[in-house]
């Protein structure tokens, strides 16, 4: 089957036939992971969103990016004269 990319805002979108979606068990709003393959292809797999893994990822980000003064507060101070 040959599919065509279409413009969707500033991105490109690829429509997946309903039969394909049914066979891999995806529906609107489901999460998928896309990877580029060595030969230049795209591999798309359905993934289940893991709340615990997401929380661990956020915790790691907090360690890397320490809390500083809020940007909005800095902007507000700069706007005052």
pLDDT tens for 27-68 read 998 888 899 999 999 999 888 878 888 888 888 888 887 767
- Domain boundaries along the sequence of the chain: 5-79
Q: Look at residue 79 in the predicted model and tell me its pLDDT.
A: 66
Its pTM stands at 0.49
CA-based nearest residue to 23, from 5, 45, 55: 45
Q: Confidence class of residue 19 from pLDDT cuts 50, 70 and 90?
A: very high
What is the rounded CA–CA span in Å between residue 6 and residue 13?
5
Q: Please name the fold of domain 5-79.
A: Pemi-like Protein 1; Chain: D (2.10.260)
């Amino acid at each position: 089957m040959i599919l065509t990319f279409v413009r969707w805002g500033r991105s490109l979108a690829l429509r997946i036939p309903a039969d394909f979606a049914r066979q891999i068990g995806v529906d609107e709003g489901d999460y998928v992971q896309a990877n580029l393959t060595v030969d230049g292809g795209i591999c798309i797999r359905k993934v289940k969103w893991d709340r615990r893994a997401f929380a661990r990822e956020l915790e790691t980000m907090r360690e890397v990016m320490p809390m500083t003064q809020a940007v909005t507060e800095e902007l507000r101070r700069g706007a005052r004269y």
